[in-house]
Structures are given as C-alpha cells and as structure tokens.
Structure 1
Amino acid sequence: MRLFNRRRFLLGTAGIFTASLAGYAGARDYQGGVPWEQGKALPPDRYNPAKRFLTDAERRFVTAAVDRLIPADDFPSASQLGVVDFIDHQLAGSYGRGDIFYLQEPFLEGTDSQGYQSRAPSWLYRRAIREIEGAIASNHDGKSFAELDEATQDSILTDLENGDLALPTASASTFFSLLLQNTKEGYFGDPIHGGNRDMEAWRMIGFPGARYDYRPYVARHNERLEFEPVSVAGFASRITPNSTE
C-alpha cells in the first residue's frame, strides 16, 4: 500500500482538490443535493452528528483504517480532523444511497476511466467491512482490524489495494479506492460537512477557503498573505461546523 508521506500526498492531491474547493466560493453555484435543478442553488448538507450510518464496530474499523492512510505527524491524523464523522454523515445521506450513480446490475469490472462501478457506497462499506473483519478474525485469533498492530494493518490495506484479499461478495480494491477517496475528501473538504476540523488541513497547506473576493491582492506579487480560512457557510476557522454563530 502507498502509505502516505504527508508532503508527497499533498503534492499529489491537494492542488487538484483545493482547486475544486475554490469553485465553491460562488455560493450561488453550490449544489448540496440531487437531482440538480437548473437555476436553483441548494444549501450545503450541513453536518449533523445525529445523522449516522456506521455501527460502532464499523466506526472502529474506519477510524483505524483512515489513520493509517493519513497518520498523525506534525499535523493531526485523519480521524483527529473528523474524517470518520464526514464519511459516516455522507453514507447516511444521498451519497451513501448512490443517488448520483447508476446502480442497475450487472456490475462489471470497469476501466479506470469509467469511474465507480458498484452498488451504493453504503452497501459497499457495510459489506466490505463485514467481510474484511471476518477474514481478519479467521487469520488473527479472533481480533478485529482495530486491534491489530500498525504493521499488520498496513499489510491488510496493501492487500485490499492490490485486490489480493479475496472477499466473498465485495470488491476489495474498489472498497479501498473508495475509502481512500473519501478520506481525502473528509480531510481537505469544507468543515461544514464534518471533516477538516477547525480547518487545520487548509491551514496546513495555506488554503484560504471560500473567500469571496481577492481583487485587492491581485497586484501584490511575491507577498505572503496570511489568511485565516473561511468556510463556504461563512464561519471562520475556530468556529465548529455545528455552531450557530
């Protein structure tokens, strides 16, 4: 598995992801649900801690897994920035139901250019976690993924990524790819969705968030600008997503 040196990870993903986030600054274009309605902007689906899909056991698996994908170093780990909350909330809503995906069988192995080829994400998470935990319990004296040492967790994630861990019904590699993508989204996305707690990931890479207007700074070349990040919802970096301020 390509366990991430955080700097290499950022070079490979943050530029693309923050570019997409920058598009959210135009609040009139922000779409928070499906189906899309022409000429109508929908508010973002604000994180609600009561809106959950994962069981406690599934959350323990996801917490351990995302913290191996983005472990703590000088900056917080994935779970410390709320990535598990982000994933749980997304799975409980339209994304988890697969409202934007074509979900009619048969599901065939697709190419990289064809995108997601599976049942609803919530189905894949639940089925894959159950089957992964079953395989681990059989081979590691009844232990769960979260109870294993980090080296063994890394080895299992590597097998998932490469498709070397055979699961009865779920695709190991498809699940790994989805988990990795959702981890990136939760870590670098707008905190209104539950992840990127206190906008620490944005501060780490110097991303100012969803600021409306940069025209006063266009002519200020080679000058470092120290902006505190701003959410698409308008709150500043030290206000939590659930705040009413």
Structure 2
Amino acid sequence: MSIPNTPNTRRSFLGKALWLVPLASLQACDLPSGTAASPEGRAGPPGPTGANYVPVFLSKSEWAFVAAMSDRLIPSDAMGPGAVEAGVPEFVDRQMETPYAHGALWYMQGPFMAAAPEMGYQLKLVPRDIVRLGIAAANDACQRQFKKHFAELDHTRQEAFMRALQQGELALADVPAKLFFGFMLQITREGFFSDPIHGGNRNMVGWKLLGFPGARADFMDFANQNGAKYPMPPVSIGDANPKA
C-alpha cells in the first residue's frame, strides 16, 4: 500500500484501512516468534503513562525512531491529533514487554526458510527482534545516505525513506525492509485505535475519529435506531465511572 501525499488523504485512508485489516491480525498469526523468547513474557510495564512515561524496552534512539515514523504514518492535522499525541510510542514500548512480543504465542521450531506467502511467516525473529533490529538497520541506512538518523531527517526525506522500505527498494541488514515497514504500520495502527488501557489512543482520539463507542456494556437504549447518531462519548475498559 502506498503512503498518500496529503494529511487529509492519509487520514481518510487510515480510517478505511482499519475496517479492512483486523487490528489483532499481526499479533494473532502473521509473525512468528524466534530467538530470545520468554515463556512468561510480561503483560506490560506498570507505572505512569503519558508525559511521565519512561520507556522500558525502547532505547532513547529507538523511541525517537518510533515517534518519528508513527508521526509520518498518522500525522496530526485538521481532523485531530496524530499518532504521537495519541501515545503510539508508549503503546509500542509496552507491547514489546508482552508474551506476544517475546514470541510465546507461536510455534517457533525450525527449519526457517523461504516459502510461498500462503505458508505464513517463516522467519525466526520475534516482534521484539523485528523492532530492535529493524530500527538499527534503518538508522544505519539513513546514516549512510544522509549522515543522520531517521528521526533527524526532515519530513520529506522521512517519507521518501519509508516509501523505499515499503516497496522493498532498500536492503536492510537482518530484517526484510517490507516486513519491517508493514510491522511498524500495523503496530502504529493498533496503538492509535487500541483501548487506552494499553497506552495508546490517548483521550480516545482514534475512537472519536471513527465514532466508535468503545467498551460500553449496554446499548439497548439505542437498538433499532437505524441512521440515528450515537450520542454518547466513547468509554475505555479502564473507565470505572463512564460519563453519561
């Protein structure tokens, strides 16, 4: 999929793509787990969120990369806040400390080999490896070409570099470029539309963009009101006392 050039087109594309691709598809089956898998993978780092959040998995340069790339994938614009404002970097960092990111949910025995796409993911890399190795390789490629890391480039060069990743025009060390781009696109999307309890979708900006009601337990008062606009604000799983 290409990256549209204008923010409004990009935001429109994001909303349409959400309904075409299940948010949990990447976590459920697309990627395998590989080396360094931890059977007891943690459920996510505790502690403060938002401005006071301290990354647990991502290093300073990795955090900057994730923030820069997610900002280009879902930029803030006239329609609302973007990925950074929605807390996507925090979501990504927290996800890297889950059983999913450690590869604990997959069968991960060799052999690892090239295979047809319908055979599914065949690499030995777990999501944590894809993020860590992919960021390092991408920054090395930027350093060779621009003498700067990805986060230090202007937006035009960042988007051109991302397009090259997406189209597989770059040869990254350790991680296929198209796989890395697809992973970062998917996890950015997930962070923007996840329940805020996971660190992303701060202030439920993703849900408000789509008009999604969230985790309300009862919709009986609004059943059979075809075409009527749902009047209630979205509710997170963590909302003990949702507003009426």
Bin for the TM-score computed over the shorter chain: 0.7 to 0.9
CA-CA distance at 1:140 after TM superposition: 1.0
Matched to 1:138, the amino acid is: R
C-alpha distance in 2 between matches for 1:16 and 1:174: 16
State the match for 1:147 in structure 2.
Answer: 152
**Residue number among 123, 129, 134 corresponding to 2:135 in the alignment:** 129
| Conserved 8 A contact 1:67-1:79 | yes
C-alpha distance in 2 between matches for 1:234 and 1:175: 34
State the match for 1:242 in structure 2.
Answer: none
CA-CA distance at 1:107 after TM superposition: 3.0
State the match for 1:199 in structure 2.
Answer: 204
Matched to 1:78, the amino acid is: A
State the match for 1:52 in structure 2.
Answer: 56
Where 2:85 maps in the other structure, the secondary structure is helix
Q: Deviations over 1:55-84 (max 9, x none)?
A: 010000111011111111121111110000
Give % identity. 36
Residue segments in structure 1 that go unaligned for 5+ positions in a row: 21-33, 36-43, 239-245
Alignment of 1:169 with 2:174, yes or no, is yes
Q: Matched residue pairs, number?
A: 216
C-alpha distance in 2 between matches for 1:54 and 1:105: 28
| Conserved 8 A contact 2:44-2:98 | no
Where 1:181 maps in the other structure, the secondary structure is helix
State the match for 2:107 in structure 1.
Answer: 102
| Conserved 8 A contact 2:44-2:97 | no
State the match for 1:38 in structure 2.
Answer: none
TM-score by length of structure 1 reads: 0.78
Alignment of 1:214 with 2:214, yes or no, is no
| Conserved 8 A contact 2:102-2:128 | yes
State the match for 2:96 in structure 1.
Answer: 91
State the match for 1:233 in structure 2.
Answer: 238
Residue segments in structure 2 that go unaligned for 5+ positions in a row: 5-9, 26-38, 48-52
The 3 A distance-change label for structure 1 pair 16 and 155 is closer
C-alpha distance in 2 between matches for 1:237 and 1:129: 39
C-alpha distance in 1 between matches for 2:73 and 2:138: 17
CA-CA distance at 1:93 after TM superposition: 2.2
The 3 A distance-change label for structure 1 pair 65 and 230 is same
| CA-atom RMSD in angstroms | 2.7
